[in-house]
């Protein structure tokens, strides 16, 4: 290169000299003196950084010469230089300023006598090639080498270019998302592809500039960890579904049904696990037949959950979990799956903290067995003998029959009656077979009348059962009453009693008074059971009301009945001035009943006195106690022994502890 430059310079000088000798067209002749002008040939030179190019000329005028590029400087410093007529050589030094990745040309222009001409072109050839070093965690990748995105779905690349990186363009497979921050390039998996192993031969990351491929790498994905799972839109709170499954609420936020979830698992290998919840034992595994939540699964990670079946039973709860198939396969049976998700805490199976990774949603459906009764259930409706009037046994308000009740429920209702017998307990009856006279328009407007009583006191419950509840136990079939009885009653000492948890379905408990002709009943125990003995109609019925010295009204106090060995007639309360507690007789026991129907049993107290442990007198605003049951007549034998005769009168004593006032019921044998 240098020899060629010297040759060109020498040739240029020879041309200048020849022109001067021959009197070229650029020369002027004045007074016999030849004035030299611009060189006739243009110098064209290639150079590299650090080289010097000499440009020579011989002129007859004052001159100025310059370069139009910063990388081409006179003597390495100046862009221009001037001088006087004569022969001159100017040295242009090529440096590394500017873009070294491409060829560039500097124009050398000579100015004199008001004119200018480019007398030389100096071309600086490219000194660098575009290079980009690509690395990750210290590993430098060569062209064509594979960039492997791990199971976590992300690969971070460090870029070290020797040029302005903003000029670089990128191209990557469609299943990869790229993000650049400075000199960091992040390759992330798209959600719909990261669950599969991907190793296509043509999938590449290309880096280009000016349509030239500068780096190219193969891109592949190693696949998810088969024991890992990702669930979008996990609902941490319980989603409450309405009875008709038309609405669902997470707190105050309403959700449309179905609720959608996106599951990402290796190769779409996952399993939906359903858990039920019981207040007595906690969570347990539900089979497909036991679950009430409808699950639509496309088997590629799109799961929709809804409740299409109307709930006919009580409130229910179901938790849906999504487990990787690799985990369920390793666990084996359902018991192992339950132990993997739950732990026992004070006898209850509760979710483990780490089980939150697999939770989709816990759904709780409101009970379809919902019924509203207006007015609220009256538990103590006392009906007159003739059935024309009734009153609240607690408040004492009397109203004319029929009794009006409004019933509200979601899907209709069924009215049934429950009678009570002292020997067998509760028995189911249709409304038509009962002594209630019910008019029902099937839209919740119910009128309850009462048939005239021609016998003893009788008790009846009226139930309003939500129709879905009734249908769950065979409504309309021959077995309906048998199945319903198992739901409504339980056995208590051989008697069927109403369960507490079905009290919400009771419209009212009705107690109809006995016929006046048979108003007094005394029960006598026999080996064959309870026998009812009639008492004469002339007996004063005021024994039913224990009047006190405080003036409490008779219809606000208790009713008493007796369980004695003989039939007796009961006289009203009599004030007594003295009594003798030593005359206590413990052979018989008096049973006291509140108007609510609750039975109070007298218990033994000090000095063998009968005392009331339940405060039965508190309802009549007094501190009365049942003191003793004694014989009114006694006999002293010859040896001094006191005998009490069962065929004589007995007295039940009541005492006011505050005033020491004693009153008594005199019980006389018939």
**Better-scored residue on pLDDT, 634 or 483:** 483
92, 124, 156: which is the final residue of a domain? 124
Instruction: Give yes or no for a contact between 28 and 36, defined as CB atoms under 8 angstroms apart.
Output: no
Task: State both tokens at 494.
Answer: 């051989």
Number of domains the chain is built from: 5
- 431 with 557, same domain: the answer is no
Beta sheet of 52-59, edge-to-edge order: 52-59, 86-94, 72-74
Q: Is the dihedral of CA 462, 467, 473, 477 positive or negative?
A: positive
Q: Is 486 exposed, middle or buried (0-12, 13-18, 19+ CB in 10 A)?
A: exposed
Largest CA distance in the chain: 196
Return the exposure string of 390-400: e unless at least 16 CB atoms fall within 10 Å of the residue's CB, then b.
bbbbeeeeeee
365, 390, 425: which is the final residue of a domain? 365
Ramachandran angles phi, psi of 467, nearest 5°: -60, -40
- 382 with 508, same domain: the answer is yes
- 377 with 483, same domain: the answer is yes
- 491 with 530, same domain: the answer is no
- Residue whose pair of structure tokens reads 């004063």 in the numeric block: 540
- 97 with 208, same domain: the answer is no
Confidence of residue 394 (pLDDT cuts 50, 70, 90): low
Distance in angstroms (rounded) separating the CA atoms of residues 512 and 300: 67
- 324 with 358, same domain: the answer is yes
The pLDDT of residue 591 is above 70: no
The pLDDT of residue 12 is above 50: no
- 357 with 241, same domain: the answer is yes
Q: What is the pLDDT of residue 398?
A: 82
Residues in the chain: 670
SS3 287: coil
Q: What is the pLDDT of residue 315?
A: 82
The pLDDT of residue 57 is above 60: yes
Task: State both tokens at 131.
Answer: 């290079």
Distance in angstroms (rounded) separating the CA atoms of residues 597 and 498: 14
Give the H/E segment covering residue 3.
helix 2-22
Cβ-proximal residues to 517 (8 Å cutoff; 6+ apart), any chain: 537
- Give the per-residue SS3 of 217-256: EEEEECCCCCCCEEECCCCCCEEEECCCCCCEEECCEEEC
Provide the residue range defining the domain that includes 164: 132-221
The pLDDT of residue 197 is above 50: yes
The pLDDT of 408-414, averaged and rounded, is 87
- 179 with 306, same domain: the answer is no
331 Ramachandran zone, left/alpha/beta (phi>0; psi -120 to 50): alpha
**Better-scored residue on pLDDT, 654 or 537:** 654
- Residue whose pair of structure tokens reads 């036991």 in the numeric block: 290
The pLDDT of residue 520 is above 60: no
Instruction: Give yes or no for a contact between 653 and 579, defined as CB atoms under 8 angstroms apart.
Output: yes
Q: Worst-scoring range by mean pLDDT, 273-287, 526-540, 571-585? A: 526-540
Instruction: Give yes or no for a contact between 507 and 463, defined as CB atoms under 8 angstroms apart.
Output: yes
101: domain CATH number is 2.60.40.10
The pLDDT of 452-471, averaged and rounded, is 86
206: domain CATH number is 2.60.40
104-112/359-365 β-pairing: unpaired
- Give the per-residue SS3 of 56-106: EEEECCCEEEEECCCCEEECCCECEEEECCEEEEEEEEECCCCCCCCCEEE
Considering only CA atoms, which of 83, 110, 6 is closest in space to residue 51? 6
Q: What is the pLDDT of residue 590?
A: 39
The pLDDT of 271-286, averaged and rounded, is 93
SS3 187: strand
- 555 with 592, same domain: the answer is yes
Q: Worst-scoring range by mean pLDDT, 113-122, 426-435, 477-486, 654-663? A: 654-663
Cβ-proximal residues to 362 (8 Å cutoff; 6+ apart), any chain: 235, 238, 239, 317, 318, 319, 320
512, 535, 552: which is the final residue of a domain? 512
The pLDDT of 643-669, averaged and rounded, is 51
Distance in angstroms (rounded) separating the CA atoms of residues 487 and 498: 9
- 344 with 380, same domain: the answer is no
- 466 with 545, same domain: the answer is no
E strand intervals along 495-558: 495-498, 506-512, 521-526, 529-534
Distance in angstroms (rounded) separating the CA atoms of residues 136 and 148: 11
- 114 with 139, same domain: the answer is no
Q: What is the pLDDT of residue 522?
A: 33
Give the H/E segment covering residue 489.
strand 489-492
Instruction: Give yes or no for a contact between 495 and 488, defined as CB atoms under 8 angstroms apart.
Output: no
Task: State both tokens at 533.
Answer: 């003995």
The pLDDT of 610-635, averaged and rounded, is 38
User: Which residues does residue 603 pair with via DSSP β-bridges, in sequence order?
Assistant: 611
Q: Worst-scoring range by mean pLDDT, 46-60, 122-136, 281-295, 308-322? A: 308-322
- Mean pLDDT is highest, among 108-112, 532-536, 601-605, 656-660, for 108-112
Q: What is the pLDDT of residue 374?
A: 77
């Amino acid at each position: 290169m240098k020899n060629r430059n010297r040759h060109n310079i020498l040739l240029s000088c020879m041309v200048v000299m020849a022109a001067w000798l021959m009197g070229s067209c650029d020369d002027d002749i004045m007074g016999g003196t030849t004035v030299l002008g611009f060189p006739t040939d243009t110098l064209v030179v290639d150079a590299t950084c650090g080289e010097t190019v000499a440009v020579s000329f011989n002129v007859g005028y004052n001159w100025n010469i310059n370069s139009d590029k910063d990388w081409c400087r006179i003597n390495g410093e100046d862009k221009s230089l001037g001088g006087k007529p004569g022969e001159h050589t100017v040295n242009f030094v090529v440096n590394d300023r500017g873009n070294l990745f491409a060829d560039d040309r500097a124009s050398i222009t000579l100015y004199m006598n008001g004119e200018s001409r480019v007398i030389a072109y100096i071309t600086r050839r490219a000194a660098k090639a575009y290079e980009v070093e690509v690395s990750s965690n210290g590993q430098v990748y060569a062209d064509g080498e594979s960039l492997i995105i791990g199971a976590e779905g992300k690969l971070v690349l460090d870029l070290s270019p020797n040029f302005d990186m903003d000029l670089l363009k990128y191209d990557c497979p469609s299943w990869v998302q790229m993000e650049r921050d400075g000199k960091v390039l992040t390759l992330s998996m798209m959600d719909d592809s990261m669950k599969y192993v991907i190793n296509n031969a043509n999938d590449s990351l290309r880096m280009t500039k000016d349509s030239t491929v500068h780096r190219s790498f193969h891109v592949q994905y190693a696949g998810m960890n088969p024991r890992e799972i990702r669930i979008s839109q996990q609902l941490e709170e319980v989603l409450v579904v309405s009875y008709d499954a038309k609405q669902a609420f997470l707190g105050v936020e309403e959700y449309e049904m179905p609720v959608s979830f996106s599951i990402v698992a290796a190769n779409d290998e996952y399993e939906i696990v359903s858990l039920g919840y019981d207040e007595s034992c906690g969570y347990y595994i539900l089979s497909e037949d036991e679950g009430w939540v409808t699950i639509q699964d496309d088997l590629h990670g799109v799961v929709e959950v809804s409740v299409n079946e109307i709930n006919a039973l009580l409130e229910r709860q179901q938790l849906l979990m999504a487990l990787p198939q690799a985990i369920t396969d390793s666990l084996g049976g359902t018991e192992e799956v339950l132990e993997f998700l739950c732990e026992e805490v004070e006898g209850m199976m509760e979710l483990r903290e780490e089980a939150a990774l697999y939770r989709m949603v816990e759904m709780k459906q409101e009970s379809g067995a919902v019924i509203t009764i207006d007015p609220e259930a009256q538990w103590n409706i006392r009906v007159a003998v003739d059935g024309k009037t009734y009153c609240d046994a607690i408040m004492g308000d009397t109203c004319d029959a029929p009794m009006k009740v409004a019933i509200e429920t979601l899907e209709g209702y069924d009215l049934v009656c429950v009678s009570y017998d002292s020997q067998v307990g509760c028995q189911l009856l249709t409304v038509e077979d009962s002594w209630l006279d019910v008019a029902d328009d099937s839209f919740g407007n119910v009128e309850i009348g009462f048939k005239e009583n021609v016998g003893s006191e009788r008790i009846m419950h009226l139930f309003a059962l939500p129709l879905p509840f009734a249908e769950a136990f065979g409504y309309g079939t021959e077995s309906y009453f048998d199945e319903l009885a198992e739901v409504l009653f339980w056995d208590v000492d051989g008697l069927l009693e109403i369960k507490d948890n079905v009290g919400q379905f009771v419209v009212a408990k009705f107690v109809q008074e006995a016929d006046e002709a048979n108003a007094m009943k005394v029960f006598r125990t026999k080996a064959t059971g309870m026998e009812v003995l009639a008492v004469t109609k002339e007996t004063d019925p005021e024994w039913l009301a224990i009047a006190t010295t405080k003036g409490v009204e008779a219809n606000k106090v208790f009713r008493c009945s007796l369980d004695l060995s003989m039939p007796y007639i009961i006289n009203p309360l009599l004030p007594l001035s003295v009594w003798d507690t030593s005359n206590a007789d413990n052979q018989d026991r008096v049973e006291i009943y509140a108007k609510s129907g609750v039975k109070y049993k007298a218990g033994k107290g000090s000095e063998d006195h009968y005392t009331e442990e339940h405060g039965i007198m508190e309802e009549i605003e007094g501190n009365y106690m049942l003191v003793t049951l004694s014989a009114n007549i006694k006999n002293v034998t010859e040896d001094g022994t006191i005998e009490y005769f069962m065929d004589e009168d007995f007295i039940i004593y009541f005492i006011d502890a505050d005033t020491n006032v004693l009153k008594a019921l005199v019980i006389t044998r018939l």
